[in-house]
Amino acid sequence: MSRIAYVNGRYVPHGEASVHVEDRGYQFADGVYEVCEVRGGHLVDARRHLDRLERSLSELRIAMPMERRALELVMRETVAQNRVRDGIVYLQITRGVARRDHAFPPAGTQPSIVITARNHDLGKLEQGASDGIAVVSVPENRWARVDIKSVGLLPNVLAKQAAREAGAKEAWFVDANGFVTEGSSTNAWIVTRDGAVVTRPADFGILRGITRTVLLEVLADHGLKLEERPFTMEEAYAAREAFITSATQFVTPVVRVDGKPIGNGAPGLIASALRRDYHDHAEFA
């Protein structure tokens, strides 16, 4: 089946989907994105993803290209046209097309919008979760507004590649004070020896993951102790468990960090239980 992309008001064959060379997303990474899980053909936590999208846009003073309800309809239509059952829908909005100039383009320049959807490789995802993944640490080198889900992801790209080359699946950024911020495309968590679940507060230093937000509810439901505070790599090495969260990987256990086994080197019980129960707390629409 051929894939279809939504580009600025039209559904087009994926292979022909393109934006203008002077799109500000292409020239300046002047845009934002969202990735929403699709499960059983339903959008997962779309309300929260669209809330975050609106926040990212407003922080950058980019207008919503259409009403929120219309946007949600286009997301659904893109999912339907691509026959996605279990996968993701990707949405990107940029400040539009204009003659290259760093300052904002003339008032009235239309934001550009692209939406794509595809199925997950569920087998690969499940394998990753049942084996657990390896993580490596890299120095934090991103800008100070990573709370905005900007398409400017070069440090994240380089970090993920560093992980790949080290035989790992994810890289954890470590700030100048020695504290983990988050992964290159996921939030970072550990479970201490006494069973407390630790993750960095969602200030400007991390992206406030939607999976992270929902997981806080799951933790409360399980009666688990939460410590929202920064943690160091030494704490991570000594942790009982570690895991990552994102809309594409849900809760995925981490079994090695910088080559050192975490706990007994197998996926942890808490991470596995949180993965199992996560979708019971998510919103389906």
List interacting residues with ligand PLP (CB under 6 A): 35, 182, 185-187, 207, 209-212, 245-247
Q: What is the 3-state secondary structure (H, E, C) of 163-177?
A: HHHCCCCEEEEECCC
Q: How far is the CB of 158 from ligand PLP (least distance, A)?
A: 13
Cβ distance to ligand PLP smaller for residue 245 or 263: 245
* CA dist., res. 140 & res. 159, Å (int): 9
Q: How many CA atoms lie within 13 A of 222 on its CB side?
A: 24
Cβ distance to ligand PLP smaller for residue 116 or 187: 187
Cβ distance to ligand PLP smaller for residue 62 or 244: 244
Sequence-ordered list of residues with C-beta below 8 angstroms from that of 181, at least 6 positions apart, any chain: 140, 146, 172, 173, 174, 175, 188, 200, 205, 206, 230
Task: Point out which residues pair with 221 in neighbouring strands.
Answer: none
Among 124, 149, 169, 260, the active-site one is 149
Catalytic, 149? Answer: yes
Q: How far is the CB of 182 from ligand PLP (least distance, A)?
A: 5
CA triple 66-72-18, angle to 5 deg: 65
Structure tokens at 203: 């200030």
Q: How far is the CB of 215 from ligand PLP (least distance, A)?
A: 9
Question: Are the beta carbons of 271 and 261 closer than 8 angstroms?
Answer: no
* CA dist., res. 1 & res. 14, Å (int): 11
Cβ distance to ligand PLP smaller for residue 209 or 263: 209
Cβ distance to ligand PLP smaller for residue 210 or 236: 210
DSSP structure class, residue 229:
S
Cβ distance to ligand PLP smaller for residue 95 or 160: 160
Q: How far is the CB of 194 from ligand PLP (least distance, A)?
A: 26
Q: How far is the CB of 35 from ligand PLP (least distance, A)?
A: 6
Cβ neighbours, 10 Å, residue 1: 6
Q: How far is the CB of 207 from ligand PLP (least distance, A)?
A: 4
**Which residue, 244, 178, 236, is CA-closest to 209?**
244
Burial class (CB in 10 A: 0-12, 13-18, 19+), 53: buried
Q: How many CA atoms lie within 13 A of 20 on its CB side?
A: 15
Which residues are known to be catalytic? 149
